Amino acid sequence: MMTNKDTFKNRQYDVFTMFDKGWALATAGSMDDFNTCTIGWGSLGDIWKGPGQGRPIVTIYINELRYTNEYLLNNDYFTVSFFPKEYKKDLAYLGSHSGRDEDKISKTSLTPISVEGGVTFKEADLTFVCRKLYWDKQSLDHLDPEIVSDIYATRPPHYEYIGEIVAVIESEKTSEEKKDSDLANGAPFEIGEPNPYGKYFTGQSYLKILAKDKDLGAINVTFEPGCRNFWHIHHGRNQILLCVAGEGWYQEEGKPAQLLKPGDVVNIPTEVKHWHGATKNSWFSHIVPGVDDPSATVTWCEPVTDEEYDKLEDQR
């Protein structure tokens, strides 16, 4: 499943263990001609744009002795893929054998698949598709002598590759497990299906109809971390938000934003421009009770910009 770019930037990744203990495969090339190798060094971050708007990146390190390094040098894109624990033996094999000498993928249980920008594997539960921004060979003159002695006494230094993350691919299972774990904060209602009004949201939201009678109903709206709706105005009838899980924001035009937590109630007057959504690092759910009123309408306005949103997080 392809993950929305605004959504994955707010995912909670175990950045200090996902490379070191989990390992990954760095892959470059096309289905007709590619190579992959196991890596244990890498990092996630952002760089090379204004405050709050940095390009999301993956940085990896490949030794020039690895056949994959030639593919990374000669291609504009590469992928970095992570796997469930049961594939650790496959990754160990790919890290100790060279594609120069054999079709090493055939000796594993992994299945290569084509993605835009390169190749990943069907069994991967997380893949970053990266556009190469920078590469260079590390200089031993610029390395701490202890590292030179411990790591590079008998082999050449690594190449460093910085790739802008242009897409994130998660397995359906991983996406659901992440959703379940992030909502394990006591959310009392099902989150439902992807919101049919998603075009008016930045990030991913979900909607569940809890009750619907002739004149009265209630829906549960759930926001992934960082998700928020556009500025909008209700006409003909006010709206009430009953906050039930996570942390969120509510803001009226020209007023400070209000931090929302379970138990908070927001009464939104008609004809008031406003927005609401999750905080950057928390899911958020609220119930919207309402009366079926055909005369009540909504005017959707411009999105809440990243700059506006990030200022709120910085002020917390």
Residue 275, SS3?
strand
DSSP 8-state class, residue 87: G
In this predicted structure, what is the pLDDT of residue 11? 64
For position 234, what pLDDT does the model report? 95
Q: Are 44 and 8 in contact (CB under 8 A)?
A: no
Type and span of the H or E element at 258: strand 258-260
Residue 275 Cα distances to 201, 202, 204, 249, 303, angstroms: 10, 11, 15, 8, 9
Encoded amino acid at 193, one letter: E
Q: Tens digits of per-residue pLDDT, 272-296?
A: 999 999 998 888 999 999 876 777 8
Q: What is the pLDDT of residues 104-140, one digit of tens each?
A: 999 999 999 999 889 999 999 999 999 999 999 999 9
d(CA 275, CA 203): 14
Share of the chain above pLDDT 90, in %: 69
- Residue 25 to residues 41, 150, 271, Cα–Cα distance (Å): 11, 24, 53
Tell me which CATH code domain 187-315 carries. Answer: 2.60.120.10
Strand duo 239-246 + 265-268: pairing: antiparallel
Cα–Cα distance measured from residue 282 to residue 169, given in angstroms and rounded to the nearest whole number: 21
Choose among 71, 78, 94, 75: nearest CA to 23: 94
pLDDT of residue 144: 96
For residue 101, pLDDT beyond 70: yes
Residue 9 has pLDDT above 50, yes or no: yes
Hey, how many other C-beta atoms are within 10 angstroms of the C-beta on 130? 27
CA-CA distance, 284 to 266, in Å (whole number)? 14
Boundaries of every domain in the chain? 2-174, 187-315
CA 178 to chain centre: 11
Assigned architecture for domain 2-174 = Roll (2.30)
* 49-53, 142-146, 240-244: least confidently modelled range: 49-53
Residue the block writes with tokens 């006010």: 238
* Predicted pLDDT of residue 62: 97
At residue 22, what are phi and psi to the nearest 5 degrees? -85, -25
Gap between the Cα atoms of 110 and 97, Å rounded: 15
Residue type, 228: R
